[in-house]
Amino acid sequence: MKNSSNNSFIKLTEATAGRVGIKLQLNQFNKNEGTPNYYGKVERFTLSVQNTLEGIANELPQIDTGTVASVLNSYTNVVLKALESGNAVKFGELGMFYIASKGVVDSETGRPELTVKFTASQTLKNVVKNIEIASSEFKKAEGKIFSVTNVATGLFDGTVTTGGSCLLEGIGIKVSGENSGIYFAPVTETGAVSTDENSWIKVISPLVYNTPSKLLFTVPDSVVADNSYKIVIRTHCAGRSGYERKELIETISDTVTVTA
C-alpha cells in the first residue's frame, strides 16, 4: 500500500512546475572594481524520498512503493560498493559518479584526499535548460541574531545586565575586519535605532566567543539601567563560514532592556 503520511511529502505537481527563484549576491572576487558583477544562488526545494518512491510507483502502477523502496535501497548499495572498489558508476541517463582527488599535497609523494563527484549527462543538462527563472533579485549579505541570553540570569527574556555576560546566537555574526565591533545603540520612541552614533556604546571587553554563530561578551558598565537598546554588530563576515568580505555588514538585534 502506498504511504503518503510522510510529513515532508510534497505534491509532485507543485515541485515540478519548471520554475525557480534566484538570489543574486555581489561577486567579491571581481577584478574590475569599477564594474560590479553578481553570481546567482538558486533557491532549493528538495523532494523527499517519499516523493521519489511515489513518483516511480506512479510510473509503474503495477509495483507498490515498498517494492520500489527495496529496489532503490539495493541500487544504492550496489553504487556504494562500486565506488568503494574505486570504480566510476554511470547513473542511468543522468550522469556519472566518479572518484576525484581533493586539495593539494606538499610533496611529490603525498597522498591527496579523495572525494566523490558527479558529472551530469547532456540529457540532464538539456532538461535544466528548459527551467524558467521565475524571479531574480539581489540579496544583500547579512547576518541574523536568533537569541540574546542574559548569562547572569540564564534567561533570554529581552534583558541584559550591566557588567554581566551576554550571549548572542545567530548566523554570520563573527566580528572581524576594519571598523567592526559590537554596539549598544539607544532606541528611539518609535523603536528604531538612534541615528546619533555618538550615543552608541561600544563593547570594548575581549570576546570570550567570537564565531559565525556565537558571541559572548561583557555588557559595558556605561549602558544605563532601565534604558532600551538594540545590539548592533558591524563586521566584514557573513554566513556560516566566517569568510571576510570587502563591505561592512550590519546586523541588529531586537530591543533589549538593561537591568542593574
- DSSP assignment of 184-223 equals EEEB-TTSPBPS-GGG-EE--SPPSEEETTEEEEEPPTTS
Of residues 23 and 194, which shows the higher confidence score? 194
Q: How far apart are CA 229 and CA 177, in angstroms?
A: 24
Q: Per-residue pLDDT for 158 more than 80?
A: yes
pLDDT score recorded for residue 13: 41
pLDDT score recorded for residue 88: 96
Q: How far apart are CA 56 and CA 68, in angstroms?
A: 7
Q: How far apart are CA 98 and CA 112, in angstroms?
A: 16
Of residues 7 and 158, which shows the higher confidence score? 158
Residues 63-83 have a mean pLDDT of 92
Q: Per-residue pLDDT for 241 more than 80?
A: no
List pLDDT tens digits, range 112-129: 999 999 999 998 898 888
pLDDT score recorded for residue 6: 42
Q: Is 254 exposed, middle or buried (0-12, 13-18, 19+ CB in 10 A)?
A: exposed
**C-alpha distances in Å from residue 208, one per residue of 51, 125, 174:** 45, 48, 12
Residue 214, C-alpha cell as written in the block: 556565537
Q: How far apart are CA 204 and CA 183, in angstroms?
A: 9
Mean per-residue pLDDT over the chain, rounded: 85
pLDDT score recorded for residue 132: 84
Chain position carrying cell 538570489: 23
pLDDT score recorded for residue 204: 93
CATH number of 144-259: 2.70.50.70
Q: How far apart are CA 242 and CA 175, in angstroms?
A: 9
Q: Give Rg (Cα) of the chain.
A: 26
Length of the chain: 260
Q: Per-residue pLDDT for 100 more than 90?
A: yes
Residue 147, C-alpha cell as written in the block: 537569541
Residues 51-66 have a mean pLDDT of 88
pLDDT score recorded for residue 7: 39
Q: How far apart are CA 124 and CA 121, in angstroms?
A: 5
Q: At residue 116, what are phi and psi to the nearest 5 degrees?
A: -110, 135
pLDDT score recorded for residue 242: 63
Query: What ranges do the domains of the chain cover?
Result: 12-96+122-138, 144-259
- At position 67, the amino acid (one-letter code) is T
140 SS3 class: coil
